[in-house]
């Protein structure tokens, strides 16, 4: 039986909720397989998130890793294409740690491309009427660190791994921040997991943006 590891994050920066963690829990509750879905809500800390991820990879040996997080200024679901070996935090993480110009992995390569079929995920989301675009930057905060750590740990292995950023869920973001209905976010994660399991080569065509 194939195994999928799906992760989200706890709230951070004083927010009451984080839609990525909530959507991961919701998908776990409705998942019917046939693959085994392992879910986890990670701490928003550089050390804690990457350490917990490493432990999950070691225990569960997943075939697919889909990590998710909140990109509060974005209006669409954004599969990430690139993770960089850089931790450069605009704000402290939930442990008060604020690295500047530090590597995620000492001695690691400058960057990794996602091994998830990001364009195929984006196309499948569009087919479901879910706003989506491929993103070329996962930032330099904990989301990027988790994506980079997942790709570093699975480099050379027959594992698909990557990251999907979500916007706010309706009614949870600050002010007029872009958002989508919560059930659409859960649907988006299910699509990302399903495509990552079932797609062959990634979709063709030009696409993506830096935001």
Write down the catalytic residue from 35, 58, 80, 190.
80
Give residue 106's domain range. Answer: 3-198
User: Is the model's pLDDT at 15 over the cut of 70?
Assistant: yes
**Quick check: is 210 in a domain?**
no
Question: Domain for residue 206, yes or no?
Answer: no
Cβ atoms 42, 49 nearer than 8 A = yes
Query: pLDDT tens, 101-114?
Result: 999 999 999 999 99
- Check which CATH number belongs to the domain holding 168 and give it: 3.40.630.20
Task: Tell me whether residue 40 is one of the annotated catalytic residues.
Answer: no
pLDDT digits (tens, 9 = 90+) for 56-100: 999 999 999 999 999 999 999 999 999 999 999 999 999 999 999
- Catalytic position from the list 35, 40, 143, 209: 143
Phi and psi dihedrals of 166, rounded to 5? -115, 145
Q: Is 143 a catalytic residue?
A: yes
Answer whether residue 205 is part of any domain: no
pLDDT at 206: 53
Question: Does 167 map to a domain?
Answer: yes
Domain membership flag for residue 92: yes
Taking the model in full, what pTM does it have? Answer: 0.94
DSSP track, 9-52? E---TT-S--HHHHHHHHHHHH---SSEEEEEEE-SSHHHHHHH
> Has residue 90 been placed in a domain?
yes
Our measurement of the distance from residue 22's CA atom to the centroid of its chain's CA atoms, rounded to an integer in Å, reads 13
In a domain, 203, yes or no: no
Statement: residue 202 has pLDDT above 80: no
**Domains identified in the chain, total number:** 1
Determine, yes or no, domain membership for 53: yes
Report the percentage of the chain scoring pLDDT > 90.
90
């Amino acid at each position: 039986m194939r195994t999928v590891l799906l992760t989200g994050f706890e709230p951070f920066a004083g927010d009451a909720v984080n839609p990525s963690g909530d959507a991961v829990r919701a998908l776990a509750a409705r998942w019917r397989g046939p693959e085994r879905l392992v879910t986890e809500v990670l701490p928003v800390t550089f050390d804690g998130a990457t350490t917990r991820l490493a432990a999950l990879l070691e225990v569960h040996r997943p075939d697919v890793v889909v990590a998710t997080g909140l990109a509060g200024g974005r209006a669409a679901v954004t599969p990430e294409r690139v993770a960089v070996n850089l931790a450069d935090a605009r704000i402290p993480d939930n442990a008060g740690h604020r690295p500047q110009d530090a590597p995620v992995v000492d001695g690691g390569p400058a960057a990794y491309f996602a091994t998830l079929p990001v364009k195929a995920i984006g196309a499948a989301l569009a087919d479901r009427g879910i706003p989506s675009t491929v993103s070329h930057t996962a930032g330099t905060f904990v989301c990027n660190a988790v994506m980079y750590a997942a790709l570093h740990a699975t480099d050379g292995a027959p594992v698909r791994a990557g990251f999907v950023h979500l916007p706010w869920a309706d009614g949870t973001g600050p002010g007029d921040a872009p958002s989508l209905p919560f059930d659409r976010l859960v649907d988006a994660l299910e699509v990302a997991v399903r495509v990552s399991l079932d797609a062959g080569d990634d979709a063709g065509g030009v696409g993506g943006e830096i935001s």
